[in-house]
Amino acid sequence: MNAPEKPRQKTRFDTIGKPRRRVDGRAKAIGQLRFADDLVLPRMLHAKLLRSPHPHAVIESIDISRAQAHPGVQLVLTGAAFPVPYGIMPVSQDEHPLARERVRFVGDPVAAVIAADEHTANEALELIEVKYRPLATVASPEEALANPEPRIHDYGEQGNIHRNQSYEFGDVEEALAKSDHVFEDLFFYEGNTHLPMEQQASLASLEGDGKLLLSTSTQNPHYLHRQLARVLQMPAAQIRVIATPNGGGFGGKCDPGNHEFVVAKAALMLGRPVKICLTREEVFYQHRGRHPVLMKFRTGVAKDGRLTAMHLQTLLDGGAYGSHGPASTFYTGVLTPVTYELPRFKFDACRVFTNKPACGPKRGHGTPQPRFGQEVQLDKIAERLGLDPAEMHLAMVTKPDSLTASWLRVGSTGLAQCIRKVVEMSGWKARHGKLGPGRGLGIACSTYMCGAGVSIYWNKLPHSAVQLLLDRSGQVTVYCGATELGQGSDDVLSALVAEALGIDPGNIRCVTGDTGITPIDLGSYSSRVTIMMGNAALQAAARVREQLAAAVAEQLNTLPERVVFSQDRVYSAEAPGNTMSFIEAVALAEAKFGTIAAVGSYSPPKAPGKYKGAGVGPSPAYSFSACVVETEVDPHTGWVTVPKIWIAHDIGQALNPVLARGQVIGGVYMGLSEALMEEQAFRRLPPKLSSALVHRNPSMLDYKSLTSLDMPDVEVALIEDPDPNCPYGAKEVGQGPLLPVMPAVANAIHDAVGVRIDEIPITPDKVLRALEKKAKGEVPRVGPESFPAVPYPQPIFVLPPWEGGDGNEVKDREGRKAA
Amino acid sequence: MNRVRMKLRVNGEEHEVLFHSYKTLLEVLREELGLTGTKHGCELGECGACAVLVDGAPLLSCLELALECEGREVQTVEGLANGKELHPLQAAFADLGGSQCGYCTSGMLMTAKALLDREPAPTRERIKEALSGNLCRCTGYQQIWESVEAAARALREAKP
């Protein structure tokens, strides 16, 4: 394993921490950056997909003869062209680029036309005749549990249950029985989608030597590369995937897409470039977004508000395919114990298949849902115990370098500072509970991983690798498989290398996201890029510096380890007058050692948990956030206005504060939009129109999201306490700041009008319904009323570290108890 | 299918274009003229990514037939800079976080330019309102407002 490069003993940085124009800022501002659909090649053809009008049906026959004969059509593909299935996770290889025997949701692709232009391809789609035999539709988790038949897939736990699991860390029932109070609450979080501004697009072509090239809007070129080799049944070395700059991803471009295999196959068959761009409606079907999750929390509390134990149960509506589902299922619970001290924890989770577009990872992947439930429940607990919620949170934050009951190592934490900061910024003490009727403040906290500790497919290889190449011109080229989604990964890469070599980031050329040229990075997901790519980059840079220092030391009349790199110069630490330019240093080194290059790579540290399933949740570091939201609620309409949000985020070290602040505000925006309006919801068509289960709002007009007019001012505090596992101490910022927003909104609504909305999104109709209940003297709450009987398995029992556990499962639990 | 030949003025240059009559201004800009700086997010007039200026006013190029633009002055993001020198809006977006993924940026820039052409010193509220038809999923809008404000200041300072 590669030890991460420790932060340099520098007390002052040249580049890190200073606001800068991002390295790709100019190209974006002049419209020169080429996204996938901006690419054009000579003799390029266009592909369109035929999608199922049925939510669940057997394909009895497909007649493509009329489409094939249509003028301008070059190729028509069906599922017959794709015998090999795929799926982002090795345990869920349940998708085909085009459906073979079965369609599983309205929008499932069944055939593809490749034609001279999109118009012709669309015409030909109309000429394809598919005979379907409809099957019963599974529309919800409740229906999935009640109807094991028809099975949507012939694999999984049983019936329509995809994944089903249970973990218990210490005897939770015993702890609950001894608690002063036990709170039981149900929450529901509706699904929602990423809605990136850029629709997915892909261009496949054959390079001059006949190798396949796929340029595509993907967050994970490496995983896609592996899946292409599998589905197309050709050697991976014959395939090159270029991740074009993504026009937003948010998790929606993590899964390999049907369309990517289709254009790749078509280009191979036709020997011509083939492009596809999904329509906005199709993007809603591609989905892979936030799972709808029903949750039940039973939480034991001592009189002073300290947690004694928690039993969390979750039920995920997975949609029609596996996608990242096995990981998503874990994430609806595994990060729950990271924020507050929790002596015992039990977590049951179940994911079912339904006839809807598949759910997957969206910003926060599986964790926003339980965070919402947990933080709203804590607000209720504080209210019942007469405690200030901010003080209650502060009193129980996890300690640095502690272990959770579930054996996650917390590492550095700035959560207490975050809470203190938002309390101060928002005037919490003077204003919470005191703003008068219709106005309120709510607080919530959260945490997120800085990269998943384990790869999506099991291996012992590095998670990220960086190659540096220098030449006598002074140019530094940095190669890495990491992909730019807009989050600024190229800027992070440039900044880190620039700082380590003491040069201007503008002198660095980034070559990223290209499996044909760059060393592997696993992808832009799980907030892993800054830390994993960053540590790999620092290792490569340290090796380059070693070569340069060895080459110049003599001339600078110093020792190699006393050579300083700063501001495009190298000099002796003792005698800064002994100096030369960075370019001269490179030339000297090149003359002495030959071409100057180095590689670096990074693997996360081994996690302390050893039980089966302990691989999900560990991370080299965790970021923390605390957020206060102010709301105004109109008692007549239920309309919620948010005038202001304060957020503090424990980032370790901001590399470029402009981008860091942008990520925080962007996360807050997305969280607020989810809290108030976003929902990927479904309805049945009227019987005269087939009764099919269809997406209710597959357009940007009907799928509501916050506009510029709806967005409040956000006041951001970056809490900087460098984390030793992270490059120059920098933790993640892409996902964490979204997480506390939804519960803070719900808690602020309660502070404003005294009602609890235990369900996301919090739309005016729900607020109004709760206000009406309150007026009638009923329990002023809107949210789920019951939790179905889920056949969770016997838990894997693990003793927490403080109960004598060793991180392994305790097989003979009863015997141990008796002893 | 009918193709039409037409003169189209884009960024101060006249182009002779030949295109299917059903094509939108967006399609003609991107596909016939190669001006891919103008993006599309929905092609239904819902997201604002394709906004360009036609005779100085912002217009969703996905909803406008190219045929209707004969004799009118079309401005796209490619025509915003003065040679190598970025327009103050472009510089501000690049420097202040107004652009993250960059996909909504062209539409934002052109819409903001129309605003600043009309109102050199807009309030925050006016900026929010003017940009309310342009969706952005990355920034949370705040750094976009700040960029527009900074550009407005720079433009005012540049004018004696």
Q: Final residue of a domain: which of B79, B110, B144? A: B79
Is B142 in the A-facing interface, judged by CB distances under 8 Å? yes
Q: Decide: helix, strand or coil at residue A108.
A: coil
**What's the whole-model pTM score?**
0.97
Q: Decide: helix, strand or coil at residue A77.
A: strand
Rounded to a whole number, what is the distance in Å from the CA of B71 to chain A's nearest CA? 24
The CATH number of A25-33+462-602 is: 3.30.365.10
Residue B16 shares a structural domain with residue B63: yes
**ipTM (interface predicted TM):** 0.98
Question: Is B99's CB within 8 Å of A28's CB?
Answer: yes
Residue B17 shares a structural domain with residue B66: yes
pLDDT of residue A580: 97
Residue B75 shares a structural domain with residue B11: yes
pLDDT of residue A7: 42
Place of tokens 């994911």: A351
Question: Is A29's CB within 8 Å of B131's CB?
Answer: no
Residue B133 shares a structural domain with residue B66: no
**Do the domains A25-33+462-602 and A293-454+610-782 sit in the same CATH topology, yes or no?**
yes
Q: Look up residue A700 and give its two tokens.
A: 């940007």
Query: Residues of A with CB below 8 A from B138's CB?
Result: 197, 248, 486, 662, 666
Place of tokens 């090159």: A240
Q: Which domain holds residue B96?
A: 88-158
Q: Residues A356, A357, A358, A360: is their CA dihedral positive or negative?
A: negative
Residue B68 shares a structural domain with residue B120: no
Residue B74 shares a structural domain with residue B98: no
> Which backbone phi and psi does A162 adopt, to 5 degrees?
-80, -55
Which CATH number among 3.30.365.10, 3.20.20.70, 3.30.1600.10, 3.30.70.20 corresponds to the domain A293-454+610-782?
A: 3.30.365.10
Q: Final residue of a domain: which of B36, B61, B79? A: B79
How does pLDDT run across A83-119, given as a tens digit for each residue? 999 999 999 999 999 999 999 999 999 999 999 999 9
Rounded to a whole number, what is the distance in Å from the CA of B7 to chain A's nearest CA? 23
Count of domains observed in chain B = 2
Q: Decide: helix, strand or coil at residue A691.
A: coil
Q: Select from A292, A193, A203 the least CA-distant residue to A248.
A: A193
pLDDT of residue A817: 65
Q: Which of residues 1-30 of B touch A (CB under 8 A)?
A: 20, 22, 30
pLDDT of residue A8: 44
- Suggest the residue from B26, B77, B137 to mutate for an interface test with chain A (most A CBs closer than 10 A): B137
Query: Residues of A with CB below 8 A from B78's CB?
Result: 30-31
Question: Is B100's CB within 8 Å of A488's CB?
Answer: yes
pLDDT of residue A819: 56
Q: Which CATH number fits the domain that encloses residue B111?
A: 1.10.150.120
Residues of chain A with pLDDT under 50: 1-9
pLDDT of residue A423: 98
Per domain, the residue ranges of chain A are: 25-33+462-602, 36-135+199-245+253-286, 293-454+610-782
Question: Is B94's CB within 8 Å of A21's CB?
Answer: yes
Closest residue on chain B to A715 (Cα): B142
pLDDT of residue A6: 46
Which CATH number among 3.90.1170.50, 3.30.365.10, 3.40.50.2000, 3.30.300.30 corresponds to the domain A36-135+199-245+253-286?
A: 3.90.1170.50
Question: Is A708's CB within 8 Å of B140's CB?
Answer: no
Q: Which CATH number fits the domain that encloses residue B55?
A: 3.10.20.30
CB A169 within 8 A of CB A348: no
Residue B99 shares a structural domain with residue B46: no
Q: Look up residue A425 and give its two tokens.
A: 């910024």
Q: Select from A663, A675, A666 the least CA-distant residue to A629.
A: A675
Residue B100 shares a structural domain with residue B120: yes
Query: Residues of A with CB below 8 A from B109's CB?
Result: 29
- CA neighbours closer than 13 Å in the CB half-sphere of residue A645: 36
Secondary structure letter of residue B68 according to DSSP: G
Q: Final residue of a domain: which of B79, B96, B118? A: B79
Question: Is B103's CB within 8 Å of A247's CB?
Answer: yes
Query: Residues of A with CB below 8 A from B47's CB?
Result: 197, 280, 700
Is B100 in the A-facing interface, judged by CB distances under 8 Å? yes
Residue B7 shares a structural domain with residue B73: yes
- CA neighbours closer than 13 Å in the CB half-sphere of residue A813: 14
Question: Is A661's CB within 8 Å of B143's CB?
Answer: yes
